[in-house]
Structure 1
Amino acid sequence: MGNTLISMGAKHQLSERDICTKYITPALQRAGWDIESQILEEVSFTDGKIFVRGKLTARGKRKRADYILYYNSNPIAIIEAKDNNHSVNAGIQQALEYARILDIPCVFSSNGDAFLFHDRTAKGMNIELELGLDQFPSPEELWNKFKIFKGIKTEEQERIISQEYYSDSSGRKPRYYQEIAINRTIEATVKGQNRILLVMATGTGKTYTAFQIVYRLWKARVKKRILFLADRNALIDQTKKNDFRHFGDKMTWVKKRQVDKSYEIFLALYQGLSGNEEEANIYKQFSPDFFDLVIIDECHRGSAKEDSAWREILEYFTNATHLGLTATPKETNEISNIEYFGDPIYTYSLKQGIDDGFLAPYRVVRVGLNIDLEGWRPPKGKLDKDGNLVEDRIYNRRDFDRNIVIEERTDTVARKVTEFLYGAGRFSKTIIFCVDIDHAERMRSALSRHNADLVRENYKYIMQITGDNDEGKKELDNFINPEEKYPVIATTSKLMSTGVDAQTCKVIVLDSNIQSMTEFKQIIGRGTRIREDFGKLYFTILDFRNVTDLFADPEFDGPPIRIKEASEEENLSTIEDEEEEFTNPIIDNVSGEEISVRKPPVRYPDNDTISYVREGSDKTYVSGVAVSVLVTREMYFDNEGRPITVSLKDHTREIITNHYSSMTDFLNRWNQSDKKAAIIKELEEQGVLVSALQDAVNRELDLFDLVCHVAFDQPPLTRKERVNNVKKRNYFTKYGEQSKKVLEALLDKYADEGIATIESAEVLSIDPLVNFGTPREIIDMFGGKENYTAALKDLESQLYA
């Protein structure tokens, strides 16, 4: 028996990994589990949240399961292991949390003596029971429970959900949330559900997820002919060249009037299949039952709208399974994804993606201009650029660049963006969202003036990329290609707000009055991709219009709300439309630009000779206005992704006092910790923004003094003051001359950079420590690693005495 291999006393000395190797894995093998194909050990299923400290970044802990057991490509069981100093059920709560995240029914905890089995399919009182090491269930037993959990009842359903994923030489596999989305879609399909909605945040791999769904259903011959619909050439092109490329000669892009029906995978634009004239409706060349599966990419746009021409295509192929993909389900009086597709079968949100470390976190810098915050009233007799009298009223940020253009405002925004890029890196890919095409054009010109040196080197440093600008549209692919240096800055209005895979975008500038939550989410999604190989781990939002107030809206990362026509009995004051002002924008089918329906020029009957607008335009253009920055502030977000509305100090105090019951509790934890850096990381994972707190209180303080001061009202000491106190005690006399100099150098390093630096193994390899010899030589000065470690701990105790 496994538990008689080692005496009880010796068993308590084994590490958790030893318990796995000597007891748990052998128990699984005896139960019939194949170690090569069915057992995965130490499975990290998240990447670890990215924490940003100034311009430095660090990863948080990955979520890691000790064991995940697979059967027919499906994860069906999870085991959390503990060493033998813990009880058999010590890991069950963590395992249950992971099982909830991973959608797994069978949950186990073990300490090497036995297993605690939590059965999420069980009825009545049998939800948990203890099993001996030789009683672990066989693969077939747990597979049967998995089928109960998923409602799989027939052999045909079982055959389809057991279809393997596509795999190639790259070894790429679906992430855990993609796996859940794929499996739930296939499960829904085999149960006969024909309208399916997947909600996945921008940057989480919707197209790759769709590819695996298509591949498994196509390979199982359940769906033999598939149509992938999008509304932009760029989306079709990306799909064909990237994730769907594995279909090779089985796939075609429907572009011509005459359709070759010999293919199995068809990619098409909505507007490429339909038109105003009957002969332009290419989709009718297919029989209504031709396609088994229709995938609608970015389905928050036209396909959700009942009177849309695009909906005609879907209704024509009504017998096919329709799978909608979106990051932002759209629910207004006229448009409803949920009404058409039903509730999402799976949602993976922006917040989840950031917490898991798959999406880039963001910081927000809000810039308040004087005329935006205070409004602007033209002085008496103020003339516009054409010599016309400017209407006497108060203009605010909703008017600027839509009704009235103040040249100095455009110039000030361009100057502040340039100023920011000087700090962030002038080759940081940047998208500037403007009010309209005219505004994007003027912003490009203003930025070119402020960046004349780089524009002189290459005029493509800044490009206007809008639907009407052919030269700019040609550069879109270069902008989103991480390997291409130019363009660096793109000014746009709507064209780049969605469906643009800008993986290395580090800065998003908001200078447009964005009110639609759907549009806002899509724009934020332009920055959420991570490319560590290009130094892209987070992004910055420069907000000139207070658009980021939408972060505080509960809709920002919550489930979609269905808003439909109300009955006479309903109180209309309780119904809110998400896009009150722009309920039904008109979108150009080719460019994706919003077409503004403008009011006619204003005329005033009391003086027909005075025109308040330019001929051919509804905008007034003025100059000579003093524009300045009233306030610049950085917004902070807690570890739930919500804006922090209290002061940073109060927010930090709340976290720390929830984590430590008293100052004594904190001091005990600090003194007992082998490495203080572990406490720093621990508090960061709780949501303490260490770097921001140092900026707000004093950058010369380390975390120990910050915590004692902010949470427990203790007077703080700077790092230099702590170093001076140590030097005054003259405690170095017990060390040799060289060792003493090393410790003094470590003290100086602490004064400059903090405790985490002197605890790191790399500190002995950098200035000024490198002057004392190699790390090995320095450690030998103390008589070996154990003595060096003891000397370092002694130094720390002196620092915090």
Structure 2
Amino acid sequence: MKHLSETDICMNYITPAIAKAGWDTKKQVRREVTFTDGRINVRGNSYTRGKRKRADYILYHITGHPIAIIEAKDAKHSVGSGMQQGLEYSEMLDIPFVFSSNGKGFLFHDKSATDGMTEKELALDEFPSPEALWNRYRLYKGIESPEAEKIVNQEFHKDESGKEPRYYQSIAVNRTVEAVAKGQQRILLVMATGTGKTYTAFQIAWRLHKAGAVKRILFLADRNILTDQTKSGDFKPFGQDIMTKITGRKIDKAYQVYFGIYQGLTSPEEAKKAFKEFSSDFFDCIIIDECHRGSASEASAWREILRYFDSATHIGLTATPKETEDVSNIAYFGEPLYTYSLKQGIDDGFLAPYKVIRLALNIDDGYRPETGKTDKYGHQVKDRVYNTKDYDKSLVIDERTQTVANKITEFLQQTDPFAKTIVFCIDTEHAERMRQALINANVELVKKHPNYVVRITGNDEVGKHEIERFTDVEERFPVIATTSKLLTTGVDTKMVKLIVLEANIGSMTEFKQIVGRGTRIREQDNKVFFTIMDFRKATNLFADPDFDGDPVQIYTTDENGPVLPPDNVIIDGEGGPEGTETDVPTGVDTGSGGLPPFGPGKGDDEPRKYYIKDVPVSIVNERVQYLDGQGQLITESLTDYSRKNIKECYADLNTFINRWTSEEKKEAIIKELLEEGVFLDELKKEVGKDMDTFDLIAHVAFDQPALTRQERANNVRKRNYFGKYSEKAQSVIKALLEKYENEGILSIEDMEVLKVQPFNTMGSLPQLVKSFGGKNQYLEALKELETELYKSA
């Protein structure tokens, strides 16, 4: 039995044991289940995919619930050798039962065990039946009543394309459905931008509705674009005959799935509060999209809607739960039922990683106007030191704006002039000036494509109409959008490759939402990572533990519950009416925080902003940082990065040489290194020598002197070891040597090389192989040639 491979063990022992226990091997058993896409590693403008995580077996209840994992090993391993890996996967997949097997029996890890026997060995014929494991699962999850089990057993929606929820979406849906089945009425799901929150919401709504647990559902948001794209997109399988959008006070109550925005449901005037057209128990379930905005604050008028429909189950969805002393999602919904973070999404390969370009300008640390300096409108500039917190908020320097625009343009021209770009500005007036500066920096492109650069802000009706074209993956234009707040959240910008930070960002919630604009992956369209260009030191927030940490409730409470802020206090600018980009309660977006761009400010003599020119502005420092495997931003050369990754695969030079010489095809080693983020082609460019892959690795990682391919080939020619072969075979070896010298080791590893120039002029593939005595002898000769090539090592 010891000679049997893992595949043999599965086929001959594990699968038969499962089938004998009563599992339907076609419907309840899946083999080699890949559940991640493999992390994307980025260096320069190149990327590789890391290894995908794959479970040997996942066992399902008849309704599609994953309830057990089996990790298999060959017979040379112990029965429990796969347990550690199985437990790692079970944590990720939220599966309570893990088995490890080498074909001789099973080691069973039972998270539901109450008898102190969490792990125990089982014989092959003792594998639990589906009913036995499902009963354990129900007890472990607290699904006790037949009514609750019926709800939990409702299957996922499956469309004609065969699309299924990703593993984390399944967990979010299953946990939510189980919680509702057990009577929980306030649920919070935290899922990073780009991970499919609305698709997850649809699957929750579908299963609860089909199971009869809820009859009428309200999907609540604060922007029309969010409800419209949800109704026509993810929720489409419900059918238009049972769905409607609430617009105005004339409401048809014959539908089952409703979509509404806060602004359309409520009003300062009691008589115009449309939500009161429904009875307070009309809805059984309310899904609150982007719940960190809108009704997040207890003081918000929008919270009144949720209080009115208090008897319904409320499910909050957000990428960034808001936790301040005044606003708390956790205080309302409770601790998140499930969290899937940006870091997890990047690690799994479902979200695009980012690189950061931090830029410092010569005036960042301070600019003090000369005595008597007046701005373009005749105002005398107040004498003090201005810095990045002031620029474009209280002091505008024309040259700074144009320098930033020129740098953005330079980056796009060096990478992709048509890469979708969002430039986040201080306010809408700043966004307009940046639009003008970018147009001036891209004169030729704008001549050909007038809408190459647009401003998309809440107070610009023309710009707002460009949102759909900007987000459409099929539309090439507009390419660059300048904005302040409108594009920070909720807008699905799948193709954005460059995010420019030209705003001072103090809110972690806002920062996370901005970063989320670039996290979608469109591999078929060559969108696999994005770049953040930072002119304001905003990316220092990446170092804050709160950036990707679990939300912590800091809402102030006393013995009577949450302490509310005073009445009429505006907690956050994100709570304003649709399209608002200001922190003033009126919702009027005037461009500069509620005041005109220039004119009376703190007094009749001091304007809101000074506008000056003739100040020399230049970029004095530029630093590029990449994400490492631990999610940390690092600044290091490709050579240093590669050295570290190579040594994670091969601890020392001898380990590498032994692996290189023993591997039948060197392509396997190169593929393995690529999965670990070693970019050999990019590394060759940086090292700047035309060397063999072996020498490149040995030189970079282990400081070995590097030979070129020509030097290695010449050393073999000098030894003339191939004199023992026939004349034709010698000709083949010499041609292989020349091909290696020109193209590298991979070019000669496949026998198909004997079909191309110059080999095809020497004879057919069978004839050339025969000159060595046959296929096996040819492969031995090729192996000997490789040994001679790397003899000096």
Normalised TM-score (structure 1): 0.88
Q: Is the 8 A contact 1:639 1:686 kept in 2?
A: no
2:41 alignment counterpart: 51
Residue identity in the other structure for 1:287: S
1:524 equivalent among 507, 515, 519: 515
Q: Deviations over 1:491-510 (max 9, x none)?
A: 11110010011111111111
**1:488 and 1:720, CA in 2 relative to 1: closer, same or farther beyond 3 A?**
farther
Q: Is the 8 A contact 1:764 1:774 kept in 2?
A: no
Q: Is the 8 A contact 2:48 2:675 kept in 1?
A: no
- The count of residues paired between Structure 1 and Structure 2 equals 762
1:150 alignment counterpart: 141
Unpaired segments ≥5 residues, structure 1: 1-7, 569-581
**Deviation (angstroms), 1:136:** 1.5
**1:259 and 1:699, CA in 2 relative to 1: closer, same or farther beyond 3 A?**
farther
1:457 equivalent among 448, 452, 463: 448
Q: Deviations over 1:162-189 (max 9, x none)?
A: 0011112111111110000000001111
**Deviation (angstroms), 1:357:** 1.0
**1:34 and 1:567, CA in 2 relative to 1: closer, same or farther beyond 3 A?**
closer
**1:449 and 1:89, CA in 2 relative to 1: closer, same or farther beyond 3 A?**
same
2:550 alignment counterpart: 559
Query: What SS does structure 2 have at the residue aligned with 1:371?
Result: coil
2:97 equivalent among 100, 106, 110: 106
2:619 equivalent among 618, 625, 629: 629
1:325 equivalent among 279, 298, 317: 317
Q: Deviations over 1:528-557 (max 9, x none)?
A: 111122111111111222221111111111
1:183 equivalent among 148, 169, 174: 174
Unpaired segments ≥5 residues, structure 2: 560-569, 584-592
Aligned partners of 1:15, 1:604: CA distance in 2, in Å?
80
Aligned partners of 1:416, 1:86: CA distance in 2, in Å?
58
**Deviation (angstroms), 1:158:** 0.9
Aligned partners of 2:602, 2:493: CA distance in 1, in Å?
47
**1:566 and 1:67, CA in 2 relative to 1: closer, same or farther beyond 3 A?**
closer
Query: What SS does structure 1 have at the residue aligned with 2:66?
Result: strand
Q: Does 1:544 align with 2:535?
A: yes
1:576 alignment counterpart: none
Query: What SS does structure 2 have at the residue aligned with 1:460?
Result: coil
Query: What SS does structure 2 have at the residue aligned with 1:116?
Result: strand
Residue identity in the other structure for 1:358: F
Q: Is the 8 A contact 2:739 2:747 kept in 1?
A: no
**1:262 and 1:648, CA in 2 relative to 1: closer, same or farther beyond 3 A?**
same
Q: Does 1:410 align with 2:401?
A: yes
**1:770 and 1:273, CA in 2 relative to 1: closer, same or farther beyond 3 A?**
farther
Residue identity in the other structure for 2:613: S
**1:263 and 1:33, CA in 2 relative to 1: closer, same or farther beyond 3 A?**
same
Aligned partners of 1:545, 1:627: CA distance in 2, in Å?
15
Q: Is the 8 A contact 1:252 1:265 kept in 2?
A: yes
Q: Is the 8 A contact 1:69 1:75 kept in 2?
A: yes
Aligned partners of 2:601, 2:40: CA distance in 1, in Å?
56
Q: Is the 8 A contact 1:432 1:509 kept in 2?
A: yes
2:588 alignment counterpart: none
- Structure 1, 45-54 or 666-675: larger mean CA deviation: 666-675
Residue identity in the other structure for 1:417: I
Query: What SS does structure 1 have at the residue aligned with 2:120?
Result: strand
Q: Deviations over 1:678-697 (max 9, x none)?
A: 44554565566767766776
Identity over aligned pairs, percent: 55
Aligned partners of 1:378, 1:771: CA distance in 2, in Å?
73
Query: What SS does structure 2 have at the residue aligned with 1:736?
Result: helix
Query: What SS does structure 1 have at the residue aligned with 2:339?
Result: strand
Query: What SS does structure 1 have at the residue aligned with 2:237?
Result: helix
The 5-angstrom pairing of residues 139-288 of structure 1 reads 139-248=130-239, 249-288=241-280
2:360 equivalent among 362, 365, 368: 368
**1:93 and 1:604, CA in 2 relative to 1: closer, same or farther beyond 3 A?**
closer
**1:309 and 1:691, CA in 2 relative to 1: closer, same or farther beyond 3 A?**
farther
Q: Does 1:92 align with 2:83?
A: yes
1:80 equivalent among 48, 66, 71: 71
**Deviation (angstroms), 1:635:** 0.4
Q: Is the 8 A contact 1:765 1:775 kept in 2?
A: no
Aligned partners of 2:370, 2:264: CA distance in 1, in Å?
53
Q: Deviations over 1:262-299 (max 9, x none)?
A: 11111000111011111221111111111111111001
**Deviation (angstroms), 1:233:** 0.8
Residue identity in the other structure for 1:67: Y
**Deviation (angstroms), 1:659:** 5.5
1:343 alignment counterpart: 335
Aligned partners of 2:699, 2:3: CA distance in 1, in Å?
41
**1:515 and 1:774, CA in 2 relative to 1: closer, same or farther beyond 3 A?**
farther
- Structure 1, 539-548 or 665-674: larger mean CA deviation: 665-674
1:667 equivalent among 647, 657, 662: 657
Q: Is the 8 A contact 2:297 2:328 kept in 1?
A: yes
1:394 equivalent among 361, 367, 385: 385
Q: Is the 8 A contact 1:639 1:687 kept in 2?
A: no
The 5-angstrom pairing of residues 718-729 of structure 1 reads none
2:578 equivalent among 585, 590, 602: 590
Query: What SS does structure 2 have at the residue aligned with 1:79?
Result: strand
Aligned partners of 1:345, 1:302: CA distance in 2, in Å?
21
Residue identity in the other structure for 1:401: D
Query: What SS does structure 1 have at the residue aligned with 2:264?
Result: helix
Aligned partners of 1:155, 1:604: CA distance in 2, in Å?
68
**1:561 and 1:718, CA in 2 relative to 1: closer, same or farther beyond 3 A?**
farther
Residue identity in the other structure for 2:581: E
Q: Is the 8 A contact 1:380 1:392 kept in 2?
A: yes
**Deviation (angstroms), 1:660:** 4.6
2:731 alignment counterpart: 737
Q: Deviations over 1:360-391 (max 9, x none)?
A: 1111122222222x422223443321233323
Residue identity in the other structure for 1:113: K
- Structure 1, 129-138 or 237-246: larger mean CA deviation: 129-138
Considering only aligned residues, what root-mean-square deviation do their CA atoms show, in Å? 3.2
Query: What SS does structure 2 have at the residue aligned with 1:536?
Result: coil
Q: Is the 8 A contact 1:433 1:494 kept in 2?
A: yes
Normalised TM-score (structure 2): 0.89
**1:432 and 1:725, CA in 2 relative to 1: closer, same or farther beyond 3 A?**
farther
Q: Is the 8 A contact 1:648 1:693 kept in 2?
A: yes
Aligned partners of 1:366, 1:691: CA distance in 2, in Å?
26
**1:542 and 1:478, CA in 2 relative to 1: closer, same or farther beyond 3 A?**
same
**Deviation (angstroms), 1:643:** 1.6
**1:777 and 1:642, CA in 2 relative to 1: closer, same or farther beyond 3 A?**
farther
1:573 alignment counterpart: none
The 5-angstrom pairing of residues 573-652 of structure 1 reads 584-585=572-573, 587-595=575-583, 596-597=593-594, 611=605, 613=607, 618-644=608-634
2:587 alignment counterpart: none
Q: Does 1:303 align with 2:306?
A: no
The 5-angstrom pairing of residues 504-523 of structure 1 reads 504-523=495-514
